[in-house]
Amino acid sequence: MNQLEQLKQFTTVVADTGDFQTMRQYTPRDATTNPSLIFKAVQKDEYRPLLEQAVRDQRDGSVDAVVDALLIAFGQEILKIVPGRVSTEVDARLSFDTDATIAKARHLIDLYERCGVPRERILIKIASTWEGIRAAEVLQKDGIRCNMTLLFSLVQAVACAEAGVQLISPFVGRIYDWYKKHAGSAWDEAKNGGANDPGVQSVRTIYTYYKKFGYNTEVMGASFRNTSQICELAGCDLLTISPELLQALHASDAPLERKLSQATGDAANVVRLDTNEPAFRWQLNEDAMATEKLAEGIRLFAADAIKLETLIGTLRTA
């Protein structure tokens, strides 16, 4: 078996893309999207009709209504291909507004359900801010399942689990990027790669904590830079992988062994974290990497949302 087939034996593979052909080719169970991926997809001729249709359908509505219609259109098409779930993201500009996040998530679910898509097949993606986690806690009680994104630290992961969220997406590659950039010329790829990769270690720590204390929240490693990071997390509940790395795994016949399992949670040195609001904010503040990458991620997703809105505005006035 190639490495992708081997990985599927003990980890649920998720496609991190808005490209339908990739999903058909590599048969993931789920798919994730975000504003950046949607904006990238609608630049291609084959996806342009989805954007144009959303603009026509919402010709009397707001730009925000067109964006929502486009997200739902992509989600519906994706669910015709994957047997599982699709993640649809709440606008990153709502990341510090609990009530607005709840309202937007409920609206997106309502749009899906009007199209005949059951909420069980949707994961609403929300940034792992304190306000986002509180929103997810409310939504989960409504039967709206959440995927907590832009997650870079253990305290974010623990707060999400205690809020009862369905799934978290710790960002392996962006953690790696931060440590490599800050090390500069002192960075040693051989020393800091593989099992010692800081992004890999972060997910392993979260996975160990969850298994140790029996949380049901799923862990889905995300934002990979190379196949080594993926292989080191084989056995994680889910891994969401870009088309380029899906191809690389598919092209390799190298043996791949399971690295994470229920037994990973047997670590005796794992202690519970306090995650009330002051403790959460302090621990996040003390983690420079997590603080910086969370803020940067929100800004980048917001910027791509604005680019998408600008594109829609151009089409509406054409």
Q: How far is CA 109 from CA 60, 64, 239, in A?
A: 22, 15, 24
- The CA distance from 14 to 147, in Å, is 13
Q: Between vectors from CA 289 to CA 285 and to CA 292, what angle results, nearest 5°? A: 75
Q: Residue 135: left if φ>0, alpha if ψ -120 to 50, beta else—which one?
A: alpha
What number of other Cβ atoms are within 10 A of residue 33's Cβ? 21
Two tokens, residue 43: 């630049």
Q: Between vectors from CA 301 to CA 284 and to CA 115, what angle results, nearest 5°? A: 115
Give the residue numbers marked as catalytic: 125
Are 93 and 302 contacting, i.e. CB atoms less than 8 angstroms apart?
yes
